């Protein structure tokens, strides 16, 4: 990457970070509040009655799931909303006229999505630590899955933003793909509590491995091996990134 292109990547990355940070009350504060409401409601109903992995209180079990859910959903929202807004308002042309390669686009957009996802996740963790003291049994696993999960969802948001032509299509992608896969990935429960067919379906959901691997970093235990989770999430990221880069190289729905 040349000096001029690296400068362009930094500029585009800065622009994308500034775009969400200027409305941080909406893009960071609102997701943190939503996660807090989930914790208060589910924690109040089940906190003193349920145990997970034999000894983990349900409220403590819930917190890493809420943190990772916030990371994933907000990383996806950053790239997808940025592209669809730029396409509809017409200001995407100012990025198209720059001599940036598809790799430069990918790094800038996905990098900014990771910043937003991790910022929201950190906000949720800091807000919930007042209610549920947590310890990180294996912090590198937690950090690794948070970063890789944010990158995967940022790349997926890039694909969604390129594909969608209007906000209705983007909302459909979010509501019928991202949200169901997130909620059915073990955010609020251990998949071991599911009946056979749903237990099998859960293991076909890559979101499950992101959340379970992240939770493993807190408790040192999980529903599956963290190495298996890492392999599945890494493979999913490679596929999604390859598709996103291919769409960028071909200018899919960008140059018309």
Domain ranges of the chain: 3-250
CA angle 238/240/242 to nearest 5° reads 65
- pLDDT digit string, tens, across residues 33-62: 999 998 888 876 665 566 677 678 888 888
Looking at residue 67, its pLDDT comes to: 95
CA count, 13 A, side-chain hemisphere, 170: 21
Looking at residue 45, its pLDDT comes to: 67
Looking at residue 236, its pLDDT comes to: 97
Looking at residue 113, its pLDDT comes to: 97
User: Distance between CA 248 and CA 244 in Å, rounded?
Assistant: 6
User: Distance between CA 157 and CA 152 in Å, rounded?
Assistant: 9
pTM: 0.93
Looking at residue 47, its pLDDT comes to: 59
Looking at residue 50, its pLDDT comes to: 63
Within 10 angstroms of residue 170's Cβ, the number of other Cβ atoms is 21
Looking at residue 247, its pLDDT comes to: 95
pLDDT-flagged residues of the chain (< 70): 1, 3, 44-51, 54, 256
**Residues counted in the chain:** 256
């Amino acid at each position: 990457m040349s000096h001029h292109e690296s400068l362009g990547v930094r500029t585009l990355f800065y622009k994308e970070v500034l775009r969400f940070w200027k409305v941080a009350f909406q893009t960071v504060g609102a997701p943190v509040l939503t996660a807090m409401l989930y914790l208060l409601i589910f924690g109040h109903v089940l906190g003193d009655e349920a145990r997970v992995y034999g000894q983990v209180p349900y409220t403590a079990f819930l917190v890493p799931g809420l943190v990772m859910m916030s990371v994933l959903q907000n990383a996806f929202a950053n790239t997808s909303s940025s592209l669809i807004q730029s396409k509809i308002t017409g200001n995407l042309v100012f990025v198209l006229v720059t001599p940036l390669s598809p790799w430069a686009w990918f790094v800038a957009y996905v990098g900014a999505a990771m910043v937003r996802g991790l910022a929201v996740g950190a906000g949720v963790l800091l807000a919930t630590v007042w209610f549920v003291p947590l310890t990180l049994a294996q912090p590198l696993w937690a950090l690794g899955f948070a970063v890789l999960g944010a990158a995967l969802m940022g790349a997926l948001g890039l694909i969604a933003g390129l594909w969608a032509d209007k906000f209705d299509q983007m909302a459909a992608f979010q509501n019928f793909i991202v949200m169901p896969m997130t909620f059915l990935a073990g955010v609020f429960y251990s998949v071991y509590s599911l009946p056979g067919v749903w237990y099998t379906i859960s293991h076909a959901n890559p979101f499950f491995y992101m959340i379970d691997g992240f939770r493993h970093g807190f408790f040192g235990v999980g529903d599956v091996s963290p190495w298996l989770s890492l392999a599945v999430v890494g493979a999913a990221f490679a596929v999604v990134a390859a598709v996103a880069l291919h769409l960028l190289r071909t200018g899919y729905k960008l140059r018309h």
